[in-house]
């Protein structure tokens, strides 16, 4: 992984971990359900954004390298598998 992307993803994941801890505290403290669900939605969005950052880097680097090496079919099959899980 490109160092800048790794740093960005790490920062995002640490923030998400903090959000998860906050949600756990909200549950423990019997906070309003809608507030908890709102925070869960925010975590999902943050995870999706983190995934997209990593996916973009993968396309720009790993897939581009595979295409240059003549491994286009393998790269496309791999993308198909991960996008099926990701989307």
Q: How do residues 13-29 score in pLDDT, each as one tens digit?
A: 999 999 999 999 999 99
Number of domains in the chain: 1
Q: pTM (2 decimals)?
A: 0.88
The predicted pLDDT at position 16 comes to: 98
d(CA 55, CA 58): 5
What would the mean pLDDT of 42-60 be, rounded to a whole number? 97
DSSP code of residue 29? T
Helix extents (H) in the chain? 3-28, 33-58, 64-68, 72-86
Q: pLDDT value at position 36?
A: 98
* Owning domain of residue 66: 3-86
């Amino acid at each position: 992984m490109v160092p800048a992307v790794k740093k960005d993803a790490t920062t995002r994941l640490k923030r998400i971990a903090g959000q998860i801890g906050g949600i756990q505290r909200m549950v423990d403290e019997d906070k309003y359900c809608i507030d908890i669900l709102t925070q869960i939605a925010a975590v999902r969005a943050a995870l999706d954004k983190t995934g997209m950052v990593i996916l973009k880097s993968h396309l720009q680097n790993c897939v581009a390298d595979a295409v240059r090496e003549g491994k286009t079919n393998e790269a496309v099959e791999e993308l198909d598998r991960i996008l099926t899980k990701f989307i």
